[in-house]
Structure 1
Amino acid sequence: MNSALRFLIVSFDGLRPDLVSPDLTPNLCRLRFLGVTLSNHRTVYPSETRSVFPSLVTGATTNQHGMVGNKYVDRSVAPQRYIDTADAVLLRQLDLESGGQLMSAPTLGEILAASGKSLAVLATNTPGTTRLFHHKAEDFGHIRLSGHFREACTPDDVLAEAEARVGPLPPEPPKVEPDTAGQDWITSTFLEVIWPKDRPDVTIFSYGEPDITSHFHGTGAEATRGIIAHCDRQFGRLLDWWEAEGRAAGVQIIAISDHGHITGHTRVSVTDSLRDAGFRPGIAPAADVDVVVVPGQVGALYLADPSDEQIGRLVATITSEPWCGPVFSRAKNETEGVAPGSLGNHLVFADHARAPDVSFSFRADDGVDPFGLLGSTFYDNDRPTGLGVHGGLHPKELAGLGIVAGSAFPAQGSVSTIPSGICDFAPTLLHILGIAPPESMSGRVLHEVLEHGSKLAPNVRSEAFKARLGSFRQVLRRVHVGSATYIEGGTAVG
């Protein structure tokens, strides 16, 4: 353990690991040569950005930290309200209203601050995502900078210095245009302002691409490949700095992605299907709404009357549809949900108080998309077919990039095939720094890649859970490494 070490966590939002290649991402490939590749690495369910990044900073699954989706229904107040976590100002308000309980598990920023250490954030994601990396940064005087959104930035004097040296915050580009300016701004700001002046103990650095471009152009489209290459070039600037200066200063690099993308092949309307079945659906709680259909690629259904009978009726309705994939409801026993045909939501760690009454993934398969990439699915949004989506349980949605490099990870150029996940980075980082992780962390320390870690192969155990209703059949697959559990994928037919 070495409390003098520092960490730089660099995220590429929505980057599929199978798009990392010498021609497209030479700098990420350079990092692979310098470090250890986690080749069996996964994210959490739902595979949505504002569930996954809270798992990064809490080292815990969604049932622990409470960010159950990009959007959710808040039932802790009357009247109930619809929450979109993309709104940084709203997230601050919710944290203050709840007495600091926006997230129901301690975060990396809080843990580091309690040990006299600092966490800095630089990100080009939505304002809410940027805040969720360190939602209490202003309470500790820590740095949190957005590449576009002033409302997500703190403190004011650091933002002012960055704008004076690097240039004004670039405006957010239209969704259909790849975001190059934001990635350039945060890279230059770290190299020219944050590191020289502040030298944070931990920095989370998040490129918000290729996620947006994949959503609006496709998983392997020319524009998507172009922004991947651009982000890799910016990362190359960080890597050049690391090799010239950062490594000697004890900086460890962790490169990640929060999820992958698959391709939407058929557009559907969950709301229309429920209305046809006699429900009164809506996108937010209201007197004339008996089921809230939260917008997004992960199905999140909140009933006005969440009785076992109504949950069963809802599950029977959606499992009769060709677009319905794996379905979860509150647990009836160790495996089953209260609704026939469903699995218990605890199996995918979706059993938080904010969780929907019924959650589901759209039915996905291993179809090859027009770009030659595996994975296709039904989807429910207003965009045309053939574009990237994520949130569900296809293995390509759950697959994440994972590369670690630095003095704490000495086996340069090696590959670890032992299953790992995004919840593992925080406990591993704290272990290296000699800080005890809180009990809420469900991730594990990655001993197998550490300098003085155990080289004994850990106990790995796989399992599968099945449920059926009529012709509908679903399977959920998980794998255990010691006490840690990772979701491998879920499928449904019928």
Structure 2
Amino acid sequence: MKTDLRFLIASFDGLRPDLIGPKLTPNLCRLKAAGVTLANHRTVYPSETRSAFPSLVTGATTVRHGMVGNAYVDRSVRPPRFIDTSDAVLLRRLDLDSGGRLYSAPSLGEILGASGRSLAVLATNTPGTTRLFHHKAEDFGHVRLSGHFREACTPDDVLAEIEARVGPLPPAPPNTEPDIIGQDWITTAFLDVVWPQSRPDVTVLSYGEPDFTSHFHGTGAEATRSIITHCDRQFGRVVDWWEAEGRGAGVQILAISDHGHITGHSCISVADYLRRAGFSPGIGPAPNVDVVVVPGQVGALYLADPDEAKVARLVATITSEPWCGPVFTRAKDDVSGIAPGSLSNHLVFADHARAPDVTFAFRADDTIDPFGLVGGTFYDNDRQAGLGLHGGLHPKELAAVGIVAGAAFASDSSASRIPSGICDFAPTILHLLGLAAPPNMSGRVLNEIIRTATPSEQTVRGETFEARLGSYRQVLRRVAVGGTSYVESGIAES
């Protein structure tokens, strides 16, 4: 069944839902007043951008799509290699070399393209993130535009026309400066060229802020609040267009974020701790490295020889430290990992072939940061304390924005408190377009917010899992709606 609906997904990278308000984000508030807020909405674990956005477009958790983190070790080749997924050129080569299996699940762009429909992407994220929204756009002749990086753009003639009408592709600003010009460029490109000429069935308009600014200034810093307001102002142009034209053309708007942020308060070096414990750590596979420590806020540890005894020794080492939060290894049974003290990584839907041998979140807490925001954590990078971080299992990292508006959805200015997640958007969009979702989508159709859906009672239940090793104890909490489970939080204590 073909429908006349179209969808615009406006994403705000790293925006905490509790930062949305009339003063900071009046236009997001305007959309809330016109639609439905998903008040109990979450991302996936790890709560990293290049795991979450693949979950958006595949409707699946990391175990099914395979983007297990912002970086990972690829063991499918010899010798193993370190993969940085921010590199758009590398991602294209990996997809071609693997026979089109960069993702282990079909993505929204592929599904739409195979049905004669289109997905357009306009993004100011890293070039790799931009590609991951639609990694096969060039194969279908679809539009994928980066606000800064030419290597992530396709097709060339569309980029050339936009540059002629809107202005040259702006260079990316230094990481320490908020990205203002990129947000303006992609918004104008959509409104002035992409929509009038292509009228895509689905569009992803991804603002790469406030993520960058939060990482270098702090989640509640004035610079971060300023760029949030600027992105909201650009989004206001989109809402103006929607009210004047888009709504009448059948466009449904989804405003989302991929994760939240908490604040780093205590800097440590995982590699130094492992070295003192007798390991030979490195940041990539090498003959003299017995454990690869993948850089990032999620602890991803790959052993050169991942036998059970070595995994157990590694887990015992890190769980004895005050910075170590929840720990996951491959499954021993339905709950436990193979190492004492660890939980099975299938509990967080992360047991893909690319997954680390040991995954851990840094220990987080509910301290109040200098800006009055809840959430603090240990961290491992070269930046000062007080800056924004994400990737772990604190509720504020997992909390994500979810607002939908349009004729397909329920009454104005309402809220749904039924748990939902970033994996649910793709199957919901496909359902409303009359297209079948592939069986490996782990998300569910959000029938509770669809205007024409038959009301049904949703069974919601909590799930708790625990593991111990000596004085170390961890607790993972999930919530399930029918047969779909969402990760709520993970804590560890000594």
Verify same fold: TM over 0.5. Answer: yes
Equivalent residue number for residue 133 of structure 1: 133
How many angstroms apart in 2 are the aligned matches of 1:211 and 1:382?
A: 17
Secondary structure of residue in 2 paired with 1:437: coil
Mapping of residues 294-305 of structure 1, within 5 Å: 294-305=294-305
Deviation, structure 1 residue 181: 0.2
Equivalent residue number for residue 470 of structure 1: 470
How many angstroms apart in 2 are the aligned matches of 1:240 and 1:2?
A: 27
Equivalent residue number for residue 15 of structure 2: 15
Mapping of residues 391-410 of structure 1, within 5 Å: 391-410=391-410
How many angstroms apart in 1 are the aligned matches of 2:25 and 2:51?
A: 26
Q: Deviations over 1:271-320 (max 9, x none)?
A: 00000000000000000000000000000000001000000000000000
Mapping of residues 363-382 of structure 1, within 5 Å: 363-382=363-382
Equivalent residue number for residue 106 of structure 1: 106
Mapping of residues 300-449 of structure 1, within 5 Å: 300-449=300-449
Q: Deviations over 1:414-448 (max 9, x none)?
A: 00000000000000000000000000100000000
Deviation, structure 1 residue 114: 1.0
Q: Deviations over 1:176-195 (max 9, x none)?
A: 00000000000000000000
Equivalent residue number for residue 459 of structure 2: 459
Equivalent residue number for residue 479 of structure 2: 479
Secondary structure of residue in 2 paired with 1:445: coil
Secondary structure of residue in 2 paired with 1:129: helix
How many angstroms apart in 1 are the aligned matches of 2:87 and 2:330?
A: 29
Mapping of residues 57-456 of structure 1, within 5 Å: 57-456=57-456
Q: Deviations over 1:385-423 (max 9, x none)?
A: 000000000000000000000000031110000000000
How many angstroms apart in 2 are the aligned matches of 1:389 and 1:202?
A: 30
Secondary structure of residue in 1 paired with 2:444: coil
1:493 alignment partner AA? E
Q: Deviations over 1:342-362 (max 9, x none)?
A: 000000011000000000000
Correspondence 1:45 to 2:45: yes
Secondary structure of residue in 2 paired with 1:68: coil
2:319 alignment partner AA? T
Deviation, structure 1 residue 454: 3.1
Deviation, structure 1 residue 2: 5.7
How many angstroms apart in 2 are the aligned matches of 1:73 and 1:438?
A: 28
Secondary structure of residue in 2 paired with 1:487: strand
How many angstroms apart in 1 are the aligned matches of 2:163 and 2:187?
A: 13
Report if aligned partners of 1:35, 1:403 keep a CA contact under 8 Å in 2.
yes
How many angstroms apart in 2 are the aligned matches of 1:157 and 1:320?
A: 57
1:155 alignment partner AA? P
Deviation, structure 1 residue 455: 2.3
How many angstroms apart in 1 are the aligned matches of 2:219 and 2:91?
A: 30
Q: Deviations over 1:75-127 (max 9, x none)?
A: 00001000000000000000000000000000000000111100000000000
1:64 alignment partner AA? R
How many angstroms apart in 1 are the aligned matches of 2:83 and 2:410?
A: 44
Runs of 4+ in 1 over 6 A off after TM superposition: none
Secondary structure of residue in 2 paired with 1:247: helix
How many angstroms apart in 2 are the aligned matches of 1:381 and 1:234?
A: 32
How many angstroms apart in 1 are the aligned matches of 2:458 and 2:83?
A: 40
Deviation, structure 1 residue 4: 1.1
Deviation, structure 1 residue 3: 1.8
Secondary structure of residue in 2 paired with 1:492: strand
How many angstroms apart in 1 are the aligned matches of 2:84 and 2:195?
A: 33
- Larger mean CA deviation between 248-257 and 406-415 belongs to 406-415
1:436 alignment partner AA? A
How many angstroms apart in 2 are the aligned matches of 1:216 and 1:410?
A: 39
How many angstroms apart in 1 are the aligned matches of 2:313 and 2:453?
A: 51
How many angstroms apart in 1 are the aligned matches of 2:368 and 2:410?
A: 38
Q: Give TM-score scaled by structure 1 length.
A: 1.00
Report if aligned partners of 1:329, 1:337 keep a CA contact under 8 Å in 2.
yes
Q: Which runs of 5+ in 1 are unaligned?
A: none
Q: Deviations over 1:227-251 (max 9, x none)?
A: 0000000000000000000000000
How many angstroms apart in 1 are the aligned matches of 2:454 and 2:47?
A: 30
Secondary structure of residue in 2 paired with 1:272: helix
Q: Which runs of 5+ in 2 are unaligned?
A: none
How large is the Cα RMSD of the aligned pairs?
Answer: 0.6
Report if aligned partners of 1:2, 1:432 keep a CA contact under 8 Å in 2.
no
Q: Give TM-score scaled by structure 2 length.
A: 1.00
How many angstroms apart in 2 are the aligned matches of 1:446 and 1:375?
A: 29
2:263 alignment partner AA? T
- Between the aligned residues of both structures, percent identity stands at 76
